[in-house]
């Protein structure tokens, strides 16, 4: 199992550009999440999905969009990139949030710099 994979690892964007951060998991997990981590801060939830075709907003959704057409993939779209979106983005997945033996498995992160 590759677990959770994210691409790209690092990207520089100019203000106003758009990009899609890719996330794929091969564990057949229902739940998928996108977080951002700013320097010296904890992870903030951007969007999450409880299954294919179902997404919902987290704490900090503004400036982002997501889709979940398959169980495996959960891309995050940035439209009109702004310097405030400079951050490290983590994708995660879990089977469920109810099973005490389960938790979130994280990808290695995508470092994004908006200039």
Partner 1 sequence: DQQVKQNSPSLSVQEGRISILNCDYTNSMFDYFLWYKKYPAEGPTFLISISSIKDKNEDGRFTVFLNKSAKHLSLHIVPSQPGDSAVYFCAASDTGNQFYFGTGTSLTVIP
Burial class (CB in 10 A: 0-12, 13-18, 19+), 65: middle
Query: Does the footprint of partner 1 cover residue 45 (CB under 8 A)?
Result: yes
In 3D space, the residue among 6, 2, 1 whose CA is nearest the CA of residue 109 turns out to be 6
The minimum distance between CB 84 and partner 1, in angstroms, equals 18
Distance CA 29, CA 31 (A): 6
Closest to partner 1 by CB, 71 vs 105, is 105
Query: Does the footprint of partner 1 cover residue 31 (CB under 8 A)?
Result: yes
Site residues for partner 1 per CB under 8 A: 4, 31, 33, 35, 40-45, 48, 50, 56, 58-59, 90, 92, 97-98, 100, 103-109
């Amino acid at each position: 199992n590759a677990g959770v994979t994210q691409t790209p690892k690092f990207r520089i964007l100019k203000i106003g550009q758009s990009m899609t951060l890719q996330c794929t998991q091969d564990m057949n997990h229902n739940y998928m999440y996108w977080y951002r981590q700013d320097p010296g801060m904890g992870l903030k939830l951007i969007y999450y999905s409880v299954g294919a075709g179902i997404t919902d907003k987290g704490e900090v959704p503004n400036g982002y969009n997501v889709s979940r057409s398959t169980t495996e993939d959960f891309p995050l779209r940035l439209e009109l990139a702004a310097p405030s979106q400079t951050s490290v983005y983590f994708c995660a997945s879990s089977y469920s949030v109810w099973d005490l033996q389960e938790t979130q498995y994280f990808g290695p992160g995508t470092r994004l710099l908006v200039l």
